[in-house]
Chains A and B, each alone.
Chain A
Amino acid sequence: MATDITHEVSVIEGKPTLKEIDATIIKPMDEMPNIKFYIAIGFTLTLLLIGVISLGMAFYRGLGLWGVNNPVGWGFAIINFVFWVGIGHAGTLISAILFLFRQKWRTGIARFAEGMTIFAVMTAGLFPLIHVGRPWLDGYLMPHPNQHNLWVNFTSPLLWDVFAVSTYFTVSFVFWYMGLVPDFATMRDRLKNSTIVSKVKKTIYSVLSLGWRFSNRHWSHYEMMYLVLAGFATPLVLSVHTIVSFDFAVSIVPGWHTTIFPPYFVAGAVFSGFAMVQNALIIIRKVFNMEHIVTLDTLEKMNKVIIVTGMMVGYAYGMEFFIAWYSGHEVESFAFLNRAFGPYTWAYWIMVSCNVIFPQFFWIKKLRRNIPFMFVVAVLVNVGMWFERFVITVTSLSRDYLPSSWAYYVPTIYDIGLLIGSFGFFFTLLLLFTRTMPVISIAEVKSVVAGSQPTRHKLGHHEEDEHNG
């Protein structure tokens, strides 16, 4: 039989019935969580508690508890902010950009990645609020009419951050929620009013599903709205980290003041975001038996994205050096030499090896499809990307223009506590997400089951949609 190149390769394995799909995906919401879940959430809540205590101490006594000092005014808080915003890139990229490009392999991972985006941006959003010296005056950062004639400074990139991140969060949230509506309706319809628990659940899902009835009209509006939102979210994916990079690029600090930052930051964000999604999915698909929905092929494709973005980041590292030398600016050249060979050389080479060298193993197909291996590489990519932000923030500040004011930055336990706490916050939310909402889009997966789409080949058979869809 000749190969038919017009035939779409199925993005899920096997031919599950629609009912089976429902059951698989909704299973975590149907059952009481097992002991493993309690252990997991206990662990993440402990991390969160560490963060809360560290933060509480810093609120009580002052930011002096952190390692920030006179030349290095920004430390872990800003590093974490940039890191988490970066993590928050994968979700919207997968669900919006890949949607526009009709990349169907995204269906299995889109919802989960979107959820991660929301939580990562929530985590990130905390840091600008808490890194300031007087967090009780955070309201000053929002333009609002007031009798003090206080206004914000629209030339400050920090203010652009406020808008960029909040817009990104809002749009991502709406996008995520809209995608969830048909699934909420599915869950609503599966529930019977038999017990009090199911009644409560049904009520909640009814409210959340906004009266969705799977009518053709609903679907038609939904598809249009989803497309529009995807179009709307796509530029935001690029803009948010561009603007975060302005925090650095707009300043005059040597090593920050570079025009390559916006694309470099976006590439890095996608890079780390994919790595984080990879890490989480590898666990989720195993735990919830969704290996046939989130397939190895999908993971392999993600690895391809990782290697591409990793090389973009690597290119940026090289280009920075070239431009620093080419500019002929002594301070600028020194800033980069100092990164690679100065007191923070250890951090720089951690960054380079994790971000540029290790992903190169993905050229080998065997390794690319090896789940334990890709898990380790994804972890390393996240470590590397965290260090990238560390290197950018700290090395540039620690040795800038006046050698008299150079100093070494050393984080304190409160800084580390806060970093740990941010992971606790993120993973706690993620764990709660897995138990309350479908982590894989039921409706979308149904649309990619073999035979769900009209085809002239009549492969497979049409199955009647139970939901009148």
Chain B
Amino acid sequence: MDNNATKPRFWKSLNLLANKPESIESTRHEFRKGVTDDFDLNALPDKSRRKFLAVLGASAAFAATACTDYPDKGEIISYNKKPSGVIYGHANYYASSLNSGLGILIKTREGRPIKVDGNPQHPINQGKVDAIAQAAMLDLYDPGRVRYPVKKSDSNLLLHKDDMPKTDWERIDKDITEKLKAASQSGKEIAIVAHSVKSPSQEKLFNEFVLKYPTAKFYTYEVFGNQNKLNAWEKCYGNKNLSVIAWDKADVIIALECDFLGTEGITVEQIKKYTSRRDFDNAKSFNKLYTVEANYSLTGANSDYRLKLSPEYQYDFIMALINEIAVKKAQSAVNLDDSAMTKIRQYNLSDFASKFGLHADKLATMVDDILHHPTKTLVVCGNSLPEECHIAVNLLNEVLGSVSNVYSDKYEVLHRPTNTMADFAQLSAKMKSGNVGVLIHFDSNPAYHLPHEIGYTDALKNVETIVSMIHIENESSEGSHFILPVNHEFESWGDFMLRNGVLSTQQPVIAPIFDSRQKEAVLLNWMSEDYTKYNHDIYHQFMKAHWQEKVFPAANTFSSFDEFWYSCLHDGIFTWDELSIPRAIINVASISLTQNTLSKSGFTVILTKPHYLGDGQYANNGWLQEVPHPITKVVWDNCAMMSPATAKKLDVAYGLDKLDKISDMIDLTVNGKTLRLPIMPQPGIVDDVIAVDLGYGRTRGGEVGTGVGFDAYTLMNKSGNKIYTGASVAKAGESYELISSQEHHSLDEEFVKDFHYKRHIIQEYTVPFYVEFENKLEEAKSRLKNEFGDDREAYEKALKTEKTHLLGHHEYQSHSVYPDKEYPGVKWAMAIDMNKCTACNACVTACNVENNIPIVGKEECGKGREMHWMRIDTYFSGTPEEPITSVQPMLCQHCDNAPCENVCPVVATTHSPEGLNQMTYNRCVGTRYCANNCPYKVRRYNFFDFRNDFKDGYYRMDTLELLNNPEVTVRSRGVMEKCTFCTQRIEEARSAANIKGKKIQGSDVVTACQEACPSDAIMFGDMNDPNSKVSKLRNHSLGYHVLETIMVKPNVTYISRLRNTNMEDTHSGH
């Protein structure tokens, strides 16, 4: 060995340097001779200091371990073998589809889906989904889902309880196939009740099922379908290929009792297209929305002009409009024959207007607009209106000649027409007479949805075998003999074709959480020769075969089917150019312009689609129950909405006069059936019209959904119509606690009127005003340029003054004793375009999902304790008869001078160097001072541990643990929380940029609300980047901050809404 190598480079003594063995040995002992440094407890004497310390330390450690109450006692299991394609901590995205047929992108973390957004490649919803789809994540993990198949027993038991008798699938398959065969042989009907078919593979499956079991008959229904529209279309155009409306192409839209921005049709697409024509930088090309309606819908609230008309008169109104245009102004793109002309001549617009008190000025403006843009005017008619209205509207659009402009070349594919209520009445009769051997509820709930007059629920008792395929217990599963759990849409295979040439795929992103099966696979299995050979893949294979046969030929760019198939799954969508069927020319002569079938008598009742509960199937979703109704702001309930005048007439009131949230109840009698429900006076509703949301009052809708609200389906007669006249109303003399998330004041209360304008919360202008302003500003710019020459600073200052002056604002100077804080790097800011926000609440729900926001329940909402980080504020102005609605998304404004920050005694809320107002949950002791001092009232306090508190911890049960976004802390009781600008997404983008060796860019980050917004009203980014959209909007003439004068310097810029009304009709806040 080389001596040098052992020579120490650093030495403590010369002896050591000389490598003397005893010195080397001595370095191995820390302590002096006689003291062992090989620690051996037993070797130590009894009264040793070290022994004492050792025992003390050990006891302390044991005590600490024994006392530990680490909240998460669950086992943490890491990947034993890492699945391919998964990186721990990284999200994977999969393209799939909702059962509604819209394309989605599901975000999964470590194999569990945690967030859903639209698939940007999908041509229909274009990367956006609505609030319901956002909240679908909760349905997937709903602990109330049926967990295993059950053969009849005491069906009053709650299904998720452990004491349900468990049956295995094989036994059930055996029993049911026997019953199916028996029914088939004895000629008894096998009735399968399903929702409308949107999937070609499902349609094929249904047809094949009938081949296997010839007595099988499929019944499909859709509570909020478009049967009337479709029938009218067929009568006008001779086919059932309903053309898709190109909402972005219409200059003038006239919506007749049609809530296309709220509840009707594919709202995300409609909102996106409609608002694409509301670009403030292109104010001259704004579209103009007129609504003519009785109920105050979201579309009505968003419209430029709203005319109030009871639905009975809609037909007359349309005909009068045709008369006005085609006859009086002699502008018609089609030839109307004499018989039609005679009919049309019976209706006179000015007579009509004076008779029904239509606002004359508004009507004149409307006619004027129609005459100016006849070929760009779209008239749409709500699904609830009777067929003759739709026929008349088709004729009106033809008369205007707008059809070729406002319809796209796509049409809606009808796989299987839905059955009429008469069909279901027949089915009921057959069931009653015992002619139905097996009844299968194919993920449907007819007992709840069908009009009670049909007697479906009673008839169920006479059916030998009832099979319910369900997610969560429902009214139809109540008397069933077999209850079969079905897969959630995120656990299923499927394909959907809503329009020609657009086929989207659905693929499972998680293995079935419970012992459930895909409903189609269950049918397939019963069709197979040997049901014991079931595997989870059978429907997948069935679908693939169908694609290979029918779809693959249309795809000519792929070498093999597999390549094609995986490409489709990857994209979630397959589109091809299918020759669109040329839309037939309307045959005016063949149109039988019948008489109006509705006649006015007594009260009119409109049964409306709830905004967030579908047809009631989402009742068990607490997130959706807690999203406030966009107009009334009522949560966890439906109610009878009526005009304040009607409420006064009926001597009923909602509690604000009494300073509590108590609402008087009424007995609403329609078709001889009475429903007792609370009222909500809603400005803008036509007098003597009562609107009630359907989808509430579930008697068996899961632990959360049962007993919420009032079941208005009971009011329907066997026609299944949504509009009824001749209703009577009586004050019930009873009251009910109805919770609205926002206190509304009656519009004639001078004390608090128009505060949103007076306080500069809402600023609005009209389009003509703004166009004029822009012209004047250009003038001013050139004038000031001459005046100041090169002095840029003075020019900017003078321009700002000029702008303020032109907008009619007060100029005020802001003084602060503190110097402004510098933000040298990125500074986060948001801009919200109020021209585009329709108050659809998709952002609110997306925020809930992204940020693990708890559900607090009705009672806590009543105390004003909802936890939403983002909310939509609604303000009314005008009169109770003609209200004007302004909506405003409100979230933490991340103020530069945040008033919440300086009052926190424990520094739990601070400002980041990037301008974020941060919350440090661990530091927060919960003094609530910050919330008091927040002028926007966006801070939310955990008054309880809401996850534990709501329904005995329902939303904390087993599966719900999987729901939470792992990037966001779940907040504990007593802690303040609020919007973070999705700081977890900022950090994710930052680390991605760091890996690439770049600095984070504003455009790298998309907040959850921004991602969800169907109209892209929300913009987020770096305001220090002069090229970013956000920084441009901050300095835009229309940009303003809410409560600007209190100098908190918010970082959310709102873009003033421009109403496309005449300048003199302005109600703006300038």
Contacts and interface: CB of A to CB of B under 8 A. Distances in A.
Interface string A66-78: 0111111110000
Contacts of B286: none
A406 B755 CA distance: 12
Contacts of B751: 337, 341-342
Interface string A219-239: 000000000000000000000
A217 B945 CA distance: 62
Nearest to A162: B905
The bracket for how many chain A residues form the interface is 35 or more
A71 B937 contact: yes
A112 B984 CA distance: 59
A216 interface: no
Given A64-B943, A64-B949, A153-B906, A133 B926 contact: yes
Contacts of B935: 252, 400-402
Contacts of A132: 925-927, 974
A69 B864 contact: yes
B107 interface: no
A62 B973 contact: yes
A165 B873 CA distance: 40
B937 A403 contact: no
B74 to A, nearest CB: 24
A140 interface: yes
Given A70-B937, A150-B923, A155 B906 contact: no
B848 to A, nearest CB: 16
Contacts of B903: 155-158, 250-251
Interface string B927-945: 1110111011100111111
A290 interface: no
B580 to A, nearest CB: 47
Contacts of A400: 935, 937
Contact of B890 (A131, A337, A402): A402
Contacts of A350: none
B703 to A, nearest CB: 21
Q: Which of A70, A141, A331, A407: most chain B CB closer than 10 A?
A: A70
Nearest to A251: B933
Contact of A403 (B756, B863, B974): B756
B157 interface: no
A159 B932 contact: no
A443 to B, nearest CB: 42
Contact of B902 (A131, A151, A155): A155
Contacts of B759: 330-331, 401-403
Contacts of B1043: 401-402
B875 interface: yes
Contacts of B902: 153, 155-156
Interface string A133-161: 11101101100000000111101111100
A133 B942 CA distance: 8
A406 B759 CA distance: 14
A164 interface: no
B924 A134 contact: yes
B905 A159 contact: yes
A186 B902 CA distance: 52
A383 interface: no
B923 A140 contact: yes
Interface in A48-70: 61-64, 67-70
Contact of A134 (B873, B905, B926): B926
A343 interface: yes
Contact of A68 (B752, B874, B943): B943
Contacts of A131: 927
A133 B937 contact: no
Interface in B204-233: none
B904 interface: yes
A333 to B, nearest CB: 11
B745 interface: yes
B202 interface: no
Chain A at the B interface: mostly helix, strand, loop or mixed? loop
Contacts of B907: 150-153
Contact of A138 (B755, B756, B925): B925
B905 A404 contact: no
A133 B1046 contact: no
Interface string A234-265: 00000000000001001111000000000000
B743 interface: yes
A385 B584 CA distance: 81
Nearest to B922: A148
Nearest to A66: B943
A258 to B, nearest CB: 15
A436 interface: no
Contact of A133 (B860, B873, B923, B975): B975
B551 interface: no
B745 A251 contact: no
B487 to A, nearest CB: 37
Nearest to B910: A153
B936 A401 contact: yes
Given A133-B924, A133-B926, A404-B874, A63 B974 contact: yes
B899 interface: yes
B874 A63 contact: no
A405 interface: yes
Interface in B745-797: 745, 751-752, 755-756, 758-759, 761
Interface string B651-663: 0000000011000
Contact of B905 (A69, A74, A156, A343): A156
Contacts of A397: 932
A403 B899 CA distance: 19
A325 interface: no
A402 B923 contact: no
A21 B903 CA distance: 52
A403 B744 CA distance: 8
Q: Which of B758, B864, B936, B1043: most chain A CB closer than 10 A?
A: B864
B865 interface: yes
A173 interface: no
B905 A141 contact: yes
Nearest to B931: A73
B865 A64 contact: yes
A132 B929 CA distance: 10
B928 A133 contact: yes
A290 to B, nearest CB: 43
Given A134-B924, A156-B904, A159-B905, A408 B932 contact: no
A74 B949 contact: no
Interface string B883-898: 0000010100000000
Nearest to A138: B925
B548 interface: no
B923 to A, nearest CB: 7
Contacts of B100: none
Given A70-B941, A153-B906, A62 B974 contact: yes
B937 A134 contact: no
A331 B936 CA distance: 13
Contacts of A141: 905-906, 925
B925 A402 contact: no
A89 B426 CA distance: 84
B905 A61 contact: no
A53 to B, nearest CB: 18
B416 to A, nearest CB: 46
Contacts of B943: 62-64, 68, 133
A252 B1046 CA distance: 8
Interface of B: 659-660, 742-743, 745, 751-752, 755-756, 758-759, 761, 860, 863-866, 871, 873-875, 888, 890, 899, 902-907, 923-929, 931-933, 935-937, 940-945, 949, 972-976, 1042-1043, 1046, 1048
Given A158-B929, A330-B758, 10 more contacts: A63-B974, A70-B940, A73-B941, A133-B924, A133-B926, A153-B904, A157-B903, A330-B759, A403-B755, A407-B743
3 nearest CB pairs, A to B: A133-B926, A133-B974, A64-B943
8 contacts: A61-B944, A64-B943, A67-B863, A137-B925, A158-B927, A330-B758, A405-B936, A406-B743
